[in-house]
Amino acid sequence: MKRSSKTRAWHHRHVHDFYVREAQAQGYRSRAAFKLMEIDDRDRLFRPGLTVVDLGAAPGGWCQVAAERMKGQGRIVGLDLLEVAPIDGVDFIQGDFTEEAILRQLEAALAGRPVDLVICDMAPNITGIDAADQAKSYYLAELALDFAATWLQPKGVFLVKVFQGAGFEAYMKAMRARFRSVAARKPKASRERSREVYLLGREVIEAA
């Protein structure tokens, strides 16, 4: 009964959410598109000609923003466990990022080309057990950080969603060990009650 009540309350908030309505009106696949647009307006992530990897791409809202702001010039590769409907100018790979075979497939799609920007909005399947969900979330974020630090060109940029709480400080420390500049962003489109925050790393620090 309690679970049903929570579900109804979430659904009510969702359908009346300003950014959900705006996404539907403007043809974006998720409200998360507005988070990325707000960050890009401030930090200038996109420009024509970039090579971009979107980890956790479904349902495709971030890829839509990337394709629009790159004006059809450059390369965008999106990856997700779920199927993503096609978007002009975007190549999608369906698979589990934690599996070596899928990572190899992503690397093959890049064909040795250095990446300019890695964006990551991945989230694990939620169990409702906070400690377990937080640990799974940071496991994915750590894999994304390893990928970004390996594939980004020296002036590359990494944007990743994390959640404040257990593991946050350790992850910030790991980010600062890999990038010369690390900043936190909390877009207005992010729900106030959400603990999510986006970390932005610039310029890869080469391993000694």
Strand partners, 120: 55, 160
The answer to whether 130 is a known ligand-binding residue is: no
The answer to whether 151 is a known ligand-binding residue is: no
Instruction: Name residues whose C-beta falls within 8 Å of residue 150's C-beta, 6 or more positions apart in sequence.
Output: none
The dihedrals phi and psi of 122, each to the nearest 5 degrees, come to: -65, 150
Does the active-site annotation cover 161? Answer: yes
Choice among 2, 6, 35, 161 that is catalytic: 161
The three-state (H, E, C) secondary structure of 103-123, written as one string? HHHHHHHHCCCCEEEEEECCC
The answer to whether 62 is a known ligand-binding residue is: yes
Q: What's the burial of 16, exposed, middle or buried (CB within 10 Å: 0-12/13-18/19+)? A: exposed
Instruction: Name residues whose C-beta falls within 8 Å of residue 87's C-beta, 6 or more positions apart in sequence.
Output: 60, 63, 64, 67, 78
Locus of tokens 């974020």: 141
The answer to whether 121 is a known ligand-binding residue is: yes
The answer to whether 80 is a known ligand-binding residue is: yes
> Residue positions in the annotated binding site?
60, 62, 80, 96, 121
> Residue positions in the annotated binding site for S-adenosyl-L-methionine?
60, 62, 80, 96, 121
User: Which residues are known to be catalytic?
Assistant: 161
